[in-house]
Structure 1
Amino acid sequence: MTAKASFDFTGANVLVIGASRAGIGAAIARAFQNAGAAVEITGVEPECIEEDAARFDYTQLDVTDTNEVYDFASTRDHIDVLVNCAAVTQRGKEMAPEFFSHVLDVNLTGSFRCAEALHPALSGAKGRVINVASMYARFGSPRNPAYGASKAGVEQLTKSLAIAWAKDGIRVNAIAPGFVVTEQSARAREDSIFTTAIEDRTPLARWGHPEDIAGTALFLASDAAAFVTGACVIVDGGYSVV
């Protein structure tokens, strides 16, 4: 049996926050563009990766800078889909209070800043917001406590915004990826014992790839999910059900 899912986002304006590096944000941006959308991306780096530089309009954006975020949002008046994917983590170094606060500021408050600043543009379009959480929203993480706390907050924020903005016709959902091969996970993947343990526990017996997350983003933004809001969809190869 073969089955191919296809989505048509022709005419849609899509903004992916946090897509400058090779990872989930970039994969989601490419998937929306391949489905016909006009896609803009942001990142904290001065430039995005070379392979995406010719594909997307790119803006350097610090999601921890409230004025910068609102200035950016003030020039966008119609957003059909907002994807909040900006995130930082540093395995084994998140017990330091200052860094803990920084992780929450980027991952959680940064997602809120962008969503709230772009609320008028989303409201006018009756748009969709997709926040990227993590399976660490539901698991303890002794070496990534800030990341886990921030992503749990993202899941709760998703529920609250879904209720608050339903009257505006905006749907707000989240995706909780499992272990995915990205630049951000590179350091963790240097530990062969750790990577093997993940593969052994995961029913699908592998790490995910950024493209494995993109399809769920397309679904949540599509009319196929017209009655879905406030949800957090786990995409982890079955890791969380073992």
Structure 2
Amino acid sequence: MKTVVVIGGSTGIGSAIAQAFAGQGAEVHVTGIEAPDAMQVQGVAGRHQLDVRNERDVARFFEAFSHIDVLINCAGVIQREGREFTPEVFAGVIDINLNGTQRCCQAAHQALKAAGGCVINTASMLSFFGSGHAPAYSASKGGIAQLTRSLAIAWATDGIRVNALAPGWIATDLTSTLTQDTERSAELVGRTPMGRWGKPDDITGPALFLASPGAAFVTGAILPVDGGYSAR
């Protein structure tokens, strides 16, 4: 049975991915910032409260695992209304989205090595495009792409593959202000060749693929799952 850890797996894309792996028979552990009994994710083996900003807590969490077959990093935040332009908020977003991902990867390294496991990070279409509204989020996701490529090179000799998914506009709590804005939502859907918002379940198939034997020679890839948004 595979051991799968989904950081930020209590809601949204992370929750959908966690449940998809559980449905494949994996032992899935999810983390979230909220208390375990408040997490809505179903069918998983363990729910754990974890703040990815706390290096000591991250290290302690991963010490419990002798091996990890799949590590999925989905913890992330975005701040709107121009708040990301302030140094404090900018640094806070980077600390969760980018530094938090690196903390988890590094803390899980030995357990991943023991299993010959793989890492799936969460990038974004904003890994490729800039954002005039969310500079910290965009910068963090650009950093995730380069972190993914760098770890893929560094850890290949350990038998660890490192890839990232780059979701497009996915309807989650994180994007609720946009889905509820009729004019802005229409603009985004109009820019997306497939003509709709993505759903968290649209990300699960690509995640399962990247963790499968079918992706045995895939590492350092940033896979867009965006309905064709980045093709324009």
Give me the TM-score of the superposition, normalised by structure 1: 0.93
Q: Tell whether 2:172 aligns with 1:182.
A: yes
Gaps of 5+ in 2: none
* CA apart distance, 1:51: 4.0
Bigger Cα displacement from structure 2, 101-110 vs 45-54:
45-54
Q: Is the contact made by 2:27 and 2:44 (CA closer than 8 Å) also made in structure 1?
A: no
Q: Is the 8 A contact 1:158 1:173 kept in 2?
A: yes
Determine helix, strand or coil for the equivalent of 1:154.
Answer: helix
The letter of the residue matching 2:176 is A
In the TM superposition, what whole-angstrom CA distance separates every residue of 1:58-77 from its partner, at most 9, and x where no partner exists?
11000000011001111111
**Cα RMSD between the aligned structures?**
1.2
Count of residues in Structure 1 that have an aligned counterpart in Structure 2: 231
Residues 12-60 of structure 1: CA distance to partner in whole angstroms, max 9, x if unpaired?
0000000122x10000001101111110000111136554256441110
2:78 to 89, 111, 126: 89
2:108 maps to what in 1?
Answer: 118
Q: What SS does structure 1 have at the residue aligned with 2:41?
A: helix
Asked whether the equivalents of residues 5 and 29 of structure 2 are also in contact (C-alpha less than 8 Å), the reply is: yes
Q: What secondary structure is seen at the aligned counterpart in 1 of 2:170? A: coil
Residues in 2 aligned to 1:67 and 1:13: alpha-carbon distance in whole angstroms: 22
Q: 2:29 aligns with which of 35, 40, 44?
A: 40
CA contact (8 A) 2:119 2:162 kept: yes
**CA distance change for structure 1 residues 31 and 235 in 2, over 3 Å: closer, same or farther?**
same
Give the Cα–Cα distance (whole angstroms) in 1 for the partners of residues 113 and 136 of structure 2: 31
Number of the residue aligned with 1:211:
201
In structure 1, C-alpha distance between the alignment counterparts of 2:182 and 2:218, rounded to whole Å: 39
Output the CA distance in 2 between the equivalents of 1:240 and 1:181. 17
1:223 to 213, 216, 222: 213
CA distance in 2, matches of 1:155, 1:232: 7
Task: Name which of structure 1's ranges 192-201 and 226-235 shifts more when overlaid on structure 2.
Answer: 192-201
Out of 63, 66, 87, the residue aligned to residue 74 of structure 1 is 63
In structure 1, the partner of 2:10 is 20
Give the aligned partner of residue 134 of structure 1: 124
Deviates more, 1:55-64 or 1:158-167: 55-64
Q: Which amino acid aligns with 2:198?
A: G
**Counterpart in the other structure of 2:50:** 61
2:19 and 2:43 in contact (8 A); partners too: no
Counterpart CA distance in 1 for 2:88 and 2:152 is 31
Counterpart position of 1:167? 157
- The answer to whether the 8 A contact 2:10-2:39 is kept is no
1:113 match: secondary structure? helix
Separation of aligned partners in 1, 2:26 and 2:56: 28
Structure 2: distance between partners of 1:55 and 1:13: 11
For normalisation by structure 2, the TM-score amounts to 0.97
Q: Identity over the aligned pairs, expressed in percent?
A: 52
Aligned partner of 1:5 in structure 2 is none
Task: Check conservation: 1:130, 1:174, Cα contact below 8 A.
Answer: yes
Matched letter for residue 167 of structure 2: P
